[in-house]
Each structure stands twice: as structure tokens, then as C-alpha cells.
């Protein structure tokens, strides 16, 4: 289950011309290490055109690591774009040609120093589909054993172990406030009921 599912009502909406506009032109404005910014021209069936800026991202993984006592491993790290330290689930960007499962295992080892015996796919979600193509593949990691990989040179991470109840309280309090961590923890909690 690595893609968003479409319900019957969504299919009916598609048939009512919600997806009939097409990209008639695409211009790369900036190409960086991780993302590309492009300006697309969208043309509707009646001929009306408009521009959309799109951040093209290769996709990523987010992992809910669960220790032998049922606690979650979270990471605290500085996030330059928002100018603060955030408490998050471990996550990372897919490398070219990398399978999501391999990426999840690698990122977990780099960020937490643990390797999972069991890695369960839990579907996924788009981070910000209004302007970005990033799709996040969600995994639950269990049976954790120490097996660190070298961290990325620009990552300085502090580990935090909390109960699921505490993680849910941290979401309510705004301590956990990035979308991937909120979505990942809530989906994991829903499957625990």
C-alpha cells in the first residue's frame, strides 16, 4: 500500500472534469541537490491557461521506530527553514533508484543507530500536494538492535524515547509539529487500537 487510494466518490468527481486540465509547458527554474523548481503552464479544455510553480522531490520515507517496551524513538534536530529544533520521527530522502524499504532501513541506522528486525509498510502520503510532488512512504520498525551507520555530516541529532501516549500528548501540545511525524504517529496509533 504505497499509494493513496481513490474511493468510488473520488472516481465520480474525476469523471466530472476535475482532472481534465493538462500541462502544456514546463520550465525548470532551479535544479538543486534535493529539489527542482519548475513552472508549469496548465491548460483547461476550454483553452484557459494558468501557471503553477511545482517543487519536484524524489520522495522520502518516515519511520515509526518502536522499542521492545513499545516506546517510540524520536529525533530532535535543528531545522534551518523554520529556524528551530523540532522533535520528529526519523525520515530521509530517497536516493536515485533506491527502494523505499532500503531507504527506511538506512535512514533509521543513520539517525538512530538501530536496525530493525521487522519493517512494516504502512502506506504513505503527500507532504504538500498543493505545490510539491514529495510522497512519503511510512514504515513501522520493530525488533531494534544496535547497528549504527555514519550520520550525514550536516545532521546533529539527539534521540528521545517516549511512550505512544506521550507522543500523542506532544502532538496536542504542539511539541511535535511537522506533518510527517504527526501523520505517522497518528496512523500508528490508529493501528494499535
Select which of 142, 153, 155, 172 is catalytic: 153
> Which residue, among 92, 88, 26, 24, has the nearest Cα to 57 in the 3D structure?
92
> Which residue, among 159, 193, 183, has the nearest Cα to 67 in the 3D structure?
159
How large is the C-alpha radius of gyration of the chain? 19
Distance between first and last Cα of the chain: 20
Annotated catalytic, 153? yes
Find how far residue 68's CA is from the centre of its chain. 25
The number of beta carbons lying within 10 Å of the beta carbon of residue 75 is 20
The number of beta carbons lying within 10 Å of the beta carbon of residue 114 is 21
Residues classed as catalytic: 153
Amino acid at each position: 500500500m504505497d499509494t493513496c487510494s481513490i474511493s468510488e466518490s473520488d472516481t465520480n468527481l474525476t469523471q466530472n472534469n476535475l482532472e481534465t486540465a493538462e500541462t502544456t509547458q514546463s520550465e525548470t527554474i532551479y535544479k538543486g541537490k534535493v529539489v527542482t523548481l519548475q513552472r508549469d503552464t496548465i491548460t483547461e479544455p476550454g483553452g484557459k491557461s494558468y501557471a503553477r510553480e511545482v517543487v519536484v522531490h524524489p520522495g522520502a520515507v518516515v519511520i515509526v521506530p518502536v522499542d521492545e517496551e513499545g516506546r517510540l524513538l524520536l529525533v530532535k534536530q535543528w531545522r534551518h527553514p523554520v529556524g528551530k529544533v523540532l522533535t520528529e520521527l526519523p525520515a530521509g530522502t530517497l536516493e536515485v533508484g533506491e527502494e523505499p524499504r532500503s531507504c527506511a532501513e538506512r535512514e533509521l541506522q543513520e539517525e538512530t543507530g538501530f536496525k530493525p528486525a521487522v519493517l512494516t509498510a504502512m502506506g504513505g502520503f503527500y507532504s504538500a500536494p498543493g505545490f510539491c510532488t514529495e510522497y512519503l512512504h511510512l514504515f513501522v520498525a520493530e525488533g531494534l538492535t544496535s547497528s549504527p551507520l555514519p550520520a550525514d555530516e550536516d545532521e546533529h541529532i539527539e534521540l528521545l524515547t517516549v511512550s505512544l501516549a506521550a507522543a500523542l500528548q506532544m502532538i496536542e501540545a504542539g511539541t511535535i509539529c511537522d506533518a510527517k511525524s504527526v501523520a505517522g504517529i497518528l496512523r500508528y496509533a490508529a493501528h494499535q487500537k
